[in-house]
Amino acid sequence: MGVIERAVSIMRGNNQKVVWLHCASLGEFEQGRPIIESLKELLPEIKIVLTFYSPSGYNIRKDYMGAFLTTYLPLDTSKNARRFIQAIKPDLAVFVKYEFWNNYFCELHKNNIPIVSVSTILRPEQVFFKFYGGFFRNILKKVDSFFVQDKQTADLLKDTVAPKVFISGDTRFDRVCQTALNVKPIPEVEKFKGQAKIMVIGSSWPADMERTSGFINIAAKKYGLKFILAPHEISEKGIKQQTRHVELEVVRYSQAKEDNINKADMLIIDNIGMLSSLYSYGDYAYIGGAFGDGLHNTLEAAVFGMPLFFGNKNYKKFREATDLVRLGGAFPVENTETMLAGFEEVLSREQEIRSINKNYVQENSGATTKIVDYCVKLLGDGRNGN
C-alpha cells in the first residue's frame, strides 16, 4: 500500500481535529516531540500525523505512540500535496526547523490551513535572502507564523517576508530537560562507574577517536579517569576502528559481567538508544561529529552540567555550541595537547563550568509552552479548509 493510500485508510472516519507535524529526520523529531506531547496533554482527543523526509527518522520512530499516523512525506508535487492533505485533513500544520515545501505550502495556504514553522533558524547566505531568491521567499510567505531560535533569524524574516515572527528559542532545550528528569538507571554502568570520574564520549566518529585516543590513554593513568564510549557506528568494524589506538582495558556493554566490568577502564556501548541516560553518569563529555559533517547534540550532556569538549572544526553553525564556548562551558579541541590543556582548565574551575552549562540550558527552555499555547489558540479558531 502506498503512503497516500495508507493515510486514507488510517484517517478514514476520523472526526477529531488533526495536527500535522513534519520533520526532516530524527534530530528534528526531537525538536517536535515536546510540542506533540504537550498538545496531547492539553488536547487528548486530537490526532497527530507525523511525517518524515529521512529514513533515519522514520525507521527509528515509526512506532512512536504519540502519533496516530507516522509516515514518510510523499514527494513534493502538486498532485501528491493535494491528495495527501485531502487524506489527513489537517486543522494545523507544524513544520520543524527548516522544512519548507512549495507544493505542500501552496495547498495548505489555498485551503486556509495555518502553517507554523518552529525552532526555525536561518542565515543570511541562504537562497531565501539572495536577490535571485524570489521563488523561495514566496514559499516562506505562505507560513502564518514563525517561532524562531534567535534574533538574526527574526530580523531576516521581518526584513524580507514580514510574517508573524516570535523569538521563542529552541524546543530541544525543553526536550533535554524533560529527558533529564526521566533518565533510566543502568545497573551495568553504575557498577562500571563505582567511585571513579567518568568522561562520556557520545556519538563519536573515527576522526574524533583519532584525535582523542592520546588524551584517553594519558588521562586514564594521570587522572584515574574512566570512559564510556558510545560510537555513532556500532558495527564490529566501526568499533574496532574507533578503539584501535586505545590502550585501556575495555569491555563491551553486551558482554559486561561482574568479573570484567570492574576491571575495565572503558565501557563501549554497542547498542542504540542509551546515550541520553548515559550522560547522567558522566562528569565530563566529549561530543562527536565536529571533525566531520557537524557536531552532534551537545544539550543532552549540558543539561547535566558537564564540561564539554568537541572538535574544533564544524561546530560554529550550532548556536548552542558557540554560546557555550563563549560562556566558557565548552572547549573546542584539535588534538591530545589541546584537550589536555582544556581538561586542566576544567579541573581548575569545575564547579563554575558546571553552573554555566546547567544554567544555560535552564535559561533557554520554555519554547514549547509558547508554541503550544499559540497552536491551541489556532485550533480553537476553527480555521481550516475541511
For residue 382, is pLDDT > 60?
no
Cell triple for 164: 508573524
Q: Provide the 3-class DSSP secondary structure of residue 290.
A: coil
- Give burial (CB, 10 Å; 0-12/13-18/19+) of 259: exposed
229-265 confidence digits (pLDDT tens):
999 989 999 999 999 999 999 999 999 988 889 889 9
Residue in this structure with the C-alpha cell 536577490, named with its chain if needed:
131
Question: CATH 3.40.50.2000: does it fit domain 183-359?
Answer: yes
Q: Provide the 3-class DSSP secondary structure of residue 365.
A: coil
Q: Is the pLDDT higher at 258 or at 313?
A: 313
**Cβ count near 270 (within 10 Å):** 17
- Specify the CATH class of 3-169+366-380 in words: alpha beta
Mean pLDDT of 161-170: 90
**Cβ count near 60 (within 10 Å):** 15
Express as a percent the part of the chain with pLDDT over 70.
98
Lowest mean pLDDT among 13-17, 186-190, 255-259, 298-302: 255-259
Whole-structure pTM value: 0.85
Residues of the chain with CATH 3.40.50.2000: 183-359
By the 8 A CB rule, do 96 and 21 touch?
yes
Residues of the chain with CATH 3.40.50.11720: 3-169+366-380
Kindly list the distances between the CA atom of residue 48 and the CA atoms of 68, 257, 315, in Å, as whole numbers in the listed order: 5, 43, 33
Determine the pLDDT at residue 162. 76
d(CA 360, CA 202): 20
